[in-house]
């Protein structure tokens, strides 16, 4: 295989990965997720915010893959005929693409959760500054929902609701 063919092939594969990241949020979105994003809860919509953060990070990642893919194709044109055979190292790079994809996917999930929780903490700090007893007036189900939906926190098995409430407030404040 000539180097220009290899670079073009790598470029095309990166383009496919980039296109996947750009389209995934719309193609694979479940009806249940669309319903959640279309409704409000406690005068906010955390599902919509979470989805938009995730889509924004996916779009950035997709753009990077498309950019690298098109760059690889351009290099394939530039190196046309310059090198006759490709080395085993280049084949190794080809097989690293799935690993790169998996790492990117993991990074997107981690980054979107961190961004979402950071944004929710900032919003709830303002709420707690305005109304320090905000969480005291919520019932158990609302406390559990706030923890799970806004901060991705779950009540521990042997934890009572008052301890969970305190842990939630401490989590928001730190």
Q: Domain tally for the chain?
A: 1
Is 159 among the domain residues?
A: no
Class of residue 8 by CB neighbours under 10 A (exposed 0-12, middle 13-18, buried 19+): buried
- Terminal alpha carbon distance of the chain: 56
pLDDT number for residue 93:
64
Is 73 among the domain residues?
A: yes
Is 59 among the domain residues?
A: yes
17: closest CA among 77, 72, 61? 61
Q: What's the rounded Cα separation, in Å, for the pair 154 and 165? A: 11
Q: How confident is the model over 66-109, as pLDDT tens digits?
A: 888 887 777 776 666 555 455 555 655 666 777 777 788 788 87
What percent of the chain stands above pLDDT 90?
A: 0
Is 57 among the domain residues?
A: yes
Q: Dig out the tokens for 76 from the structure.
A: 């394939």
Is 56 among the domain residues?
A: yes
What pTM was computed for the model?
0.56
Q: How confident is the model over 56-65, as pLDDT tens digits?
A: 888 888 888 8
Q: What's the rounded Cα separation, in Å, for the pair 29 and 51? A: 10
What mean pLDDT comes out for the span 156-167?
A: 86
Q: Which has more pLDDT, 77 or 160?
A: 160
Is 133 among the domain residues?
A: no
> Which residues form the domain of 95?
3-109
């Amino acid at each position: 295989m000539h180097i220009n063919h290899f670079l073009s092939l790598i470029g095309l594969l990166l383009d496919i990965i980039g296109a996947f990241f750009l389209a995934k949020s719309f193609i694979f979105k479940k009806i249940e997720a669309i319903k959640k994003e279309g409704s409000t809860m406690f005068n906010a919509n955390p599902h919509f915010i979470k989805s938009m953060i995730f889509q924004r990070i996916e779009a950035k990642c997709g753009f990077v893959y498309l950019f690298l893919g098109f760059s690889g194709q351009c290099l394939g044109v530039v190196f046309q005929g310059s090198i006759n055979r490709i080395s085993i190292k280049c084949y190794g790079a080809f097989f690293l693409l799935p690993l790169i994809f998996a790492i990117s996917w993991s990074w997107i999930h981690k980054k979107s959760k961190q961004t979402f929780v950071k944004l929710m903490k900032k919003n709830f700090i303002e709420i707690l500054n305005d109304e320090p007893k905000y969480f005291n007036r919520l019932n158990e189900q609302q406390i559990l929902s706030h923890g799970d939906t806004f901060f991705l926190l779950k009540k521990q098995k042997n934890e009572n609701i008052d301890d969970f409430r305190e842990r939630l407030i401490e989590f928001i404040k730190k």
